Structure 1
Amino acid sequence: MRSTRGTWAAGLAGVALAAGLTGCSGGGDGRAAAAAKSSAPAVAKACTDGTYTWSAVKKTEKLTGVSGVQSLGKGGGTLSGPLERVYTPRASVKASGPAVSPAEVLFSLGKKSGEIQSDARTLAEAGGDAWQFTDVNVKAPPLDGGRITVEGPGEIVEYAGVREVAGDFSYTCPGGATTNGRARSWQEDLSGVVDCQEGFDGSGTARQAARLSCEPGSPATRNA
């Protein structure tokens, strides 16, 4: 017996842009660091009418949480064991060249990968529309979602996961200035259960959950 449930709730972990932070120890060193920072040249902003080109765009299932084995009797029951976090998804935009908007980069990635359906050329042109896929502040999804009820006995492991989307991009302005980088975001849409006593041909996240929680050699781990 194997029971899985997919949930769809588009979400975005917060974007972590690489930013150099200068620590100040006070006194002369602190003043010197502040002076050096103030004299550093500002990074030019990219144009707003450029064109994105994407390559190596890939979607990958990532296991974010898994429970221990929960034994259910003949009548089944509702799973109650907590999920332990094994991975924290975080979106990121890392780029070199004229500064681009992280939200606009992720909007373009979302359209390229099919995670965002929009006729707008840019996020700004989308007006009032909003996608959590482009939200640079939202946190990783919690692991204490709705309880899953299983009908029938089994040695059950519950799991949760996300689908990550990543790719390399170039943003080219009409004047020829180009920004190159790599971006990553994710959608929350994977959850379910694995019965350790049954073999299966399940998804990547289910297989990872079986390997982590089921007893070695149990039916669910033989092809995992």
Structure 2
Amino acid sequence: MRDMRGSTRRSWAAGVAAVALAAGPTACTGGSDDDGAGGKTGARRASAGPVAEKQACTDGTYTWTGIGETKRLTGVTEPESLGKGGGRLTYRLARVYTPHQSVEGHGPALSSAEVLFSLGKKAGLIESDATTAAEDDSEDAFTDVNRKAPELNENGTDSVDGAGRFVRYAFTTEVAGDFRYSCADGTAVLGHAVGWKADGGGILDCDHSIEGLSGDDVSLARSAARLVCDAGSVATKGA
């Protein structure tokens, strides 16, 4: 058995999420993509949400700004008390946030799959020689706005090797950015896109400090402790 206190694990997953447009990116890049966004997409691709008067050109270029990543708490368990020697944690995670892929644009209609494909390439999440999502045959889940987020409790249980009041938590990492899609005729689409790239989780002990974690992991664990640990417990200090 492993001592999982304050640990995190990450796994790549295929799934999606809808979106409160992400808050406070933790890393930013600027620049422009030279990918076009043309072509009709298959049934797995989704069109931009708002109904527009006309379709955007199919050979425009994207310019992205403010691309950043944000970790969000997606699920927690109630504290589970284990005695000396620890054991398996069996409490199920309850969802506190559901991520969604989304694209919002102002101007002629764009395919959401094409926008997310461009964002994924710009953020380094999609490695493809294709210019557009329609040309790409990998069917990358990052471009699919219709997939559901993964189940929180599908990966079995964890174990700990000590006594305590343990809380399991899950999180996802969202990627967001603002874009301008420019056409040769002078028309443009301005918008914002959000996708998620990974999910993971960790375990905290309400009776122990979480200060040993770093950066976003501390913030996630504190958010989980604030939700379910008793007020004044060690893990909630600073939360």
- SS of the counterpart of 2:149? coil
Alignment partner of 1:219 is 2:228: no
How many angstroms does 1:188 deviate by?
3.1
Which of 203, 206, 225 is matched with 1:210 structurally?
Answer: 225
1:12 corresponding residue in structure 2: 15
- Quick one: which amino acid aligns to residue 222 of structure 1? K
Of the three residues 180, 202, 225, the one matched with 1:170 is: 180
Q: Can you list the C-alpha shifts for 1:31-81, whole angstroms capped at 9, x where unaligned? A: xxxxxxxxxxx7221122211111122211111110000011122111111
Please give the alpha-carbon distance, in whole angstroms, between the structure 2 residues aligned to 1:66 and 1:182. Answer: 29
Once the two structures are TM-superposed, the CA of residue 152 in structure 1 deviates from its matched residue by 1.7
Residue of 54, 63, 71 corresponding to 2:81:
71
Query: Residues 1-224 of structure 1: matches in 2 within 5 Å?
Result: 2-13=5-16, 18-19=49-50, 43-126=53-136, 128-146=137-155, 147-201=157-211, 202=213, 203=217, 204-224=219-239
Percent identity, please.
49
1:170 partner SS: strand
Q: Matches of 1:60 and 1:120 in 2, distance apart? A: 27
Give aligned pairs, total: 202
| Structure 1 or 2: more helix by fraction | 1
TM-score (norm 1): 0.82
Conservation of the 8 A alpha-carbon contact between 1:94 and 1:183: yes
Q: Which residue of 2 aligns with 1:24?
A: none
Tell me the alpha carbon deviations over residues 92-137 of structure 1, each in whole angstroms, 9 at most, x when there is no partner: 11111121110010111112222223333322232x2121111121
Contact 1:15–1:135 (CA under 8 A) maintained in structure 2: no
How far apart are 1:3 and its partner, in Å?
4.2
Q: Which residue is 2:31 aligned to?
A: none
- Kept in 2: contact 1:15–1:93 (CA 8 A): no
Counterpart of 2:9 in structure 1: which amino acid? Answer: G
TM-score computed with the length of structure 2 as normaliser: 0.77
Mark the CA change 1:5 to 1:15 in structure 2 (over 3 Å): closer, same or farther: closer
1:212 alignment partner, SS class: helix
Q: Note the residue ranges of structure 2 that are not aligned, 5 or more in a row.
A: 20-47
Question: What's the CA shift for 1:18?
Answer: 4.0
For structure 1, the residue ranges without an aligned partner over 5 or more in a row are 21-41
Q: Give the RMSD, CA atoms, in angstroms.
A: 2.0
Residue type of the alignment partner of 1:10: A
Query: Contact 1:197–1:219 (CA<8 Å) still a contact in 2?
Result: yes
